[in-house]
Structure 1
Amino acid sequence: MARIRRTALVAALSVATVALSTTVALSTDLARPRPAAAAPPTAAVALGDSFVSGEGAGAYTPVVDVTGVAQPFPGWTAPNSNAFFCHRSANASLHQASLPGISARFNLACSGGQPQDIANPSANRAKGRQVAAQLDQLRAVGASHDIDLVLVGLGSNNSSFTFGNVAEKCANRFIADAWTGWWEFWAYLGGPVEQKPCADADLATAAQLNAATTETTDAVRQILTTLAEIDTDGQHRVVLQDYTNPLPFDLAPTYHSEDSRDDTRDKFRDLGAERYAAGCPIHRASLLPGHRFSQGLGTMVGAVRSTLAAEFPAADLVYLNVQRAFDAARLCESAGSPDGTLATPIRLQDGPNGTVVTSLAGKDKIAIQRIANTCVSYFQTCQESWHPNAAGHRVLGQCLTGAATATARAVTCVRSPDGTVTLG
């Protein structure tokens, strides 16, 4: 009996010793410092339309469409809705900017993008490209990266007007005026064709700009709300960039007249050919309305920033004004254009063949109409026209570099005649 009790006692002591050893081991293990979870890589993202996607800058990369397939260049006769024609460029300003601390950059913008494409697939609307909603693409980035910077270029295309239509309207009026008299157009097309310079209302009315401001504000609000949901550390700067006019306030004197004819005459083909070759087929009288249009877009972007800064007081929201970023380097601002300029000239193709028409000299009105119609039928053949080129995006990249670290809530980027870029 005593032996049994001693055996039981020994067993009990053994169990207690094991339990105590286990407890000590667990306590020691819990007390030992553990390595911290690795922070996700940081990212900068571009959202919006052609002025941030890199339209005009070349080096376009394949774009993933709504089915998840990466689309490379599909050929000149492919539908313009193909995702590739978002024209996301490796030379875009997002990739040109110096952004210390940023590990990866994602260009989610799409040429022709509109405010409604932020929350909805652009494939859902007429003339939209076959890509997913930009917010869905942003969420995918946020799942693997810490988003620290977002560049937004939005509003020049909307349900009231688009930059492409505005540019096409004013350029076509000049071309029609240069090559064909009013009576010829009446006889040839069976009705009058507008040939006068563009006025302010031809570009955007006050009501249209107000509507565009509302649409753009709604879209950026959706961006800020989504960022608050997906960016776990809550630290990110959103830069709202406006637009740069590719044309000057007036053309250099060498482009004012040719063969003793200016653009107030009926027919001025030599002058038309000269301006087309230089990249600026436009009436001089259309230039100031064009700049007022650009300034209106700037006012719109500034208003969006002010409205949303009041709604999101903790948001790091900066307005980047780039309207003077191309000073002294716009198309036809100096002799020798388009060499040395920061924007792409208007360039067309005579059929979707990939060969750019650089000269209209000696062509009659039938050839001019055929060439112009290529742009209408195959917009990808001309959509690079009047956008920042690769050199222009390098300048815009410098503007973004400054805006990424500026303490001011509104930043103006100005290029000096010597090429120096300053922010103020």
Structure 2
Amino acid sequence: MKGLRRAVAMAALLAGAAGIQVIHSGAAQAALPTAAVALGDSFISGEGAGDYQPVTDTSGTAQSFPGWSAANSNAYFCHRSANASLFKASLPGIQARFNLACSGGRPADVASPSSARAGGRSVASQLDQLRAVAQTHDIDVVLIGLGSNNSQFTFGDVASLCANRFIADAWTGWWEFWAYLNGEVPQEPCTVSDLATDAEVAAATAETTAAVRQILDTLAQVDADGDHRVVLQTYTNPLPLDVAPQYRDEDDRTDTRDKFRALGAERYAAGCPIHRASLAPGHVFSQNLATLVKNTYTTLAAERPTADLRVLDVQRAFDGARLCENPGSPDGTLATPLRVQDGPSGTFVTSLSGRDKIAIQRMANTCITYFQTCQESWHPNAAGHAVLGQCLTAALTAGPRTTVTCTRGSGGTLTIS
């Protein structure tokens, strides 16, 4: 095959020199090594799974870790992990794998450089990166995780909203709230409409559908043999429907009382600083994201009836192993705990015991200024991405199904339906 490619390349070179237009044959195209590609946002890039690889920025420079105080726009903070699900899946026949996803990735980043929008990272558009891969490889598998960040809402904003309300409620008494804060810091649990309204989800669905359509159009143009499987993955909620009993109260105070610092510190240490009443709305938000992905599929499958396009539903892939679902959290869970740093120090704060509200505010501000210091929070960890890799394997081997649901049962067994 290598000899064939060299011969074709030499023929093309000679023909080009003679001013002859060269149309590559199917045999020559098939000689390219096969590849699997990941596109989308943090749940695909491997955020939370560690072992982050250098990322090439828009100038062509491979960016390694630049330090915690570096600008959040640095390409490295795409956090492309060697432990991402794409690399953990069994993909027979695939010779190379390319992770083009980026933490914080939005539908707009598919066709435009992420740096073209506020808060974006200095990486080329994902379509340009996809085209570059297609120059050297035959793309056979494409994993897409897109929609949790968009012009309407982002996962990071939703997570910080609910966590901040809980922390403010835990550390601030009613008299401080009114006397010093003028009632300006919300302390009540999150509601469904706080996270994303129906109108916002509809707008996000339209954005996501348009972006995935651009990906499919580009694949049709650049894929060597025109034969590829595309998987649209939903999202996994890192938190349970309710916390385990030992995380429900501390010092005879629940999260419905005024100021509950001991309980606040306990839940933060366990990785789930959030009101119990916020958990159900959070799961509605996750379900809305799944519906967004499925509606994107429905629209595009109708437009392209011959396309090998399918949905991988992983909403229940972490059942029984979510943060604070069992004693001893965050140990044994499949998601990263919510963690912040006290300044861009590189050391995560694991305990808030004994911290006053001034220290809490300082840490919150660090996360705002240097978002990379807390961006791993509430994402699949390395073990979680290994599970998602198994789900991806199942989605690609399940036969001609339009939707593959991956559910974690007792003992960690995955059921595919």
Match of residue 419 from structure 1 = 412
Structure number with bigger Rg: 1
Check the 8 A contact 1:60/1:88 in 2, yes or no. Answer: yes
Q: Name the counterpart of 1:393.
A: 385
Counterpart check, 1:291 vs 2:283: yes
SS at match of 2:162: helix
Q: Which amino acid aligns with 1:422?
A: T
CA contact (8 A) 2:38 2:100 kept: yes
* Amino-acid identity (%): 74
Partners of 1:319 and 1:100 in 2: how far apart? Answer: 20
Alignment of 1:61-100 (within 5 A): 61-100=53-92
Give distance in 2, aligned partners of 1:67 and 1:36.
31
Distance 2:67 2:80 in 1: 16
Other-structure match for 1:213: 205
State the distance in 2 between where 1:56 and 1:234 align.
34
Q: Deviations over 1:54-105 (max 9, x none)?
A: 0000000000000000000000000000000000000000000000100000
Structure 1 counterpart of 2:308, one-letter code: D
Aligned to 1:261, which of 240, 253, 269? 253
Cα deviation code 1:332-370 (max 9, x no counterpart): 000100000000000011110001100000111111111
What is the CA–CA distance in structure 2 between the aligned matches of 1:125 and 1:332, rounded to whole Å?
Answer: 36
Q: Is the counterpart of residue 232 in structure 1 residue 224 in structure 2?
A: yes
Q: Between Structure 1 and Structure 2, how many residues are aligned? A: 390
Q: Who is 1:49 aligned against?
A: 41
Verify: 1:187 aligned to 2:179, yes or no.
yes
**Counterparts in 2 of 1:360-379, with a 5 A limit?**
360-379=352-371
From the superposition, tell whether residues 268 and 37 of structure 1 become closer, same or farther in structure 2 (CA, over 3 Å): closer
Q: Does 1:304 align with 2:276?
A: no
Q: Secondary structure of the residue that 2:143 maps to in structure 1?
A: strand
Distance verdict in 2 for CA 1:38–1:239, change over 3 Å: closer
Confirm or deny: 8 A CA contact 1:63 1:72 kept in the other structure: yes
Query: Residue 186 of structure 1 contacts residue 193 of structure 1 at CA under 8 Å; is this kept in 2?
Result: no
Structure 2 counterpart of 1:4: none
CA offsets 1:361-412 (integer angstroms, 9 cap, x no match): 0111111111111101110000000000000000000000011122211000
In 2, Cα distance between equivalents of 1:55 and 1:340? 18
Once residues 296 and 149 of structure 1 are traced to their aligned partners in structure 2, the CA distance between those partners, rounded to angstroms, is 26
Aligned residue in 2 for 1:145: 137
Report the counterpart of residue 16 of structure 1 in structure 2.
Answer: none
Displacement of 1:181: 1.6
Matches within 5 A, 1:29-178: 39-178=31-170
Task: For residue 309 of structure 1, give the secondary structure of its aligned residue in structure 2.
Answer: helix
* SS of corresponding position for 1:105: strand
Q: Runs in 1 of length 4+ with deviation above 2 angstroms? A: 35-38, 185-192
Q: Give the superposition deviation at 1:313.
A: 1.1
Alignment partner, residue 199 of structure 1 = 191
Aligned-partner residue type, residue 414 of structure 2? V
CA positional deviation for 1:232: 2.4
One-letter amino acid matched to 2:241 = F
Shift in Å at residue 417 of structure 1?
Answer: 1.9
Task: Confirm whether residue 275 of structure 1 aligns to residue 267 of structure 2.
Answer: yes
The alpha-carbon deviation at position 188 of structure 1 amounts to: 3.0
Q: Could you tell me how far 1:185 is from its partner in structure 2?
A: 3.0
Deviation, 1:189, is 3.6
Contact 2:29 2:138 in 1 (8 A): no
Instruction: Please state how far the C-alpha of 1:423 moved relative to its aligned partner.
Output: 1.0
Distance 2:306 2:175 in 1: 62
Unaligned 5+ segments in structure 1 are 1-34
Q: State the TM-score, normalized to the length of structure 2.
A: 0.92
Tell me, in whole angstroms, the C-alpha distance in 2 between the residues paired with 1:97 and 1:79.
33
Corresponding letter in the other structure for 2:79: H
2:178 and 2:135 map into 1 onto residues whose CA distance is: 59
Alignment of 1:349 with 2:341, yes or no, is: yes
Contact kept, 8 Å, 2:171 with 2:259, in 1: the verdict is yes
Q: C-alpha distance in 2, partners of 1:182/1:400?
A: 48
Partner Cα distance (1:153, 1:36) in 2 = 32
- Normalising by structure 1, we get a TM-score of 0.91
Shift of 1:190: 4.5
Q: In 1, are the aligned partners of 2:189 and 2:275 still within 8 Å (CA)?
A: yes
> Residues 191-210 of structure 1, C-alpha deviation per residue, up to 9 Å, x if partnerless?
42100000000000000000
